[in-house]
Amino acid sequence: MNAFIAIVRRDLLLAARRKSEVFTALFFFMIVVSLFPLGIGPETAMLRRIAPGVLWVAALLAAMLSLNRLFAADHQDGTLEQMSLSPTPLALLVSGKVLAHWLTSGLPLVLLAPVLGLQFDLSPRALGVLMVSLLLGTPVLSLVGAIGAALTLGVRGGGVLLSLLVLPLYIPALIFGAGAVEADVAGLGAGGHLSLLGALLALGVFFAPWAATAALRIALE
């Protein structure tokens, strides 16, 4: 457990020393989301309809931006070898890395989303549902992304391959995440969608670190 905390602490410290990487993803999210109201025009009914999809797709793409660096630096400087030789199971250390990745790339999106949602004339209630859906969904993005990042480790042109590999796997999270907000706007309850997102998260927490670890072991050999 000490090693888990050390990994989370180290990755947060590294992110704090390289703030530009965190802010790049955040500004990307802000700009992509803000382009839609500007491009489509101030028709509130239309904006309200597209808001969940736009916000969620932008969140997917922003989460993708930092994924290919998740394991690449550790692989290059030998840290990954040391992690795999640790008495602590590698899957637990990988979970620590994923948690740190979510704290620096997912959580800021969750906090920023309601502000950006205002541009789409979403009601306070819908903004709340949007936040909850992102809170449940962005960890899934980090977890599934970690599998992709581990599989493409050391592959030339891995960044593009990573998006081709991971974006299709993000579809369930996108459908239920955006669906929750849509259902709420339409007056149906968001509970069902959010429960399914929660189920995805539970599955991801359980299986993704294990799958990513298996892929990392292949890359290390």
Partner 1 sequence: MLRAHGLACDRGDRRLFSAVDFSLAPGEWLQVEGANGAGKTSLLRMLAGLAPSADGHIEWDGQPVSNVRDEFHARLLYLGHAPAIKEDLSALENLQTAAAVAGRPLDEATALAALRRIGLKGREDLPARVLSQGQKRRVALARLLCSQARLWILDEPFVALDVAAVSQLCSILDEHLSRGGLLVFTSHQAVQLGGIGNTLRLGPDPDASRPRPTIAEVQA
Q: Which residues bind partner 1 (CB under 8 A)?
A: 2-3, 5-7, 9-10, 13-14, 17-18, 76-79, 81-88, 93, 220-221
Of 49 and 75, which has the nearer Cβ to partner 1?
75
Q: Which residue has the tokens 């819908």?
A: 126
Beta carbon nearer to partner 1, 103 or 219:
219
**CA-CA distance, 150 to 2, in Å (whole number)?**
23
> In angstroms, what is the minimal distance from the CB of 86 to partner 1?
5
Q: How far apart are CA 49 and CA 124, in angstroms?
A: 15
What is the distance in angstroms between the CA of the first residue and the CA of the last residue of the chain? 26
Tell me how far, at minimum, the Cβ of 18 lies from partner 1, in Å.
Answer: 6
Q: Which is nearer to partner 1, 87 or 168 (CB)?
A: 87
The CA distance from 23 to 104, in Å, is 9
Residue 96's Cβ-count burial label (10 Å; 0-12, 13-18, 19+) is buried
Q: How many residues does the chain have?
A: 221
In the bound complex, what is the minimum distance in angstroms from residue 21's beta carbon to partner 1?
A: 11
Angle at 173 between CA 161 and CA 135, to 5 degrees: 115
Nearer to partner 1, 196 or 216 (CB): 216
Cβ 218 to partner 1 shortest distance, Å: 11
Give the nearest distance from C-beta 204 to partner 1 in angstroms: 24
Task: Tell me the residue type at 119.
Answer: Q
Nearer to partner 1, 93 or 132 (CB): 93
- Output DSSP code: residue 119: G
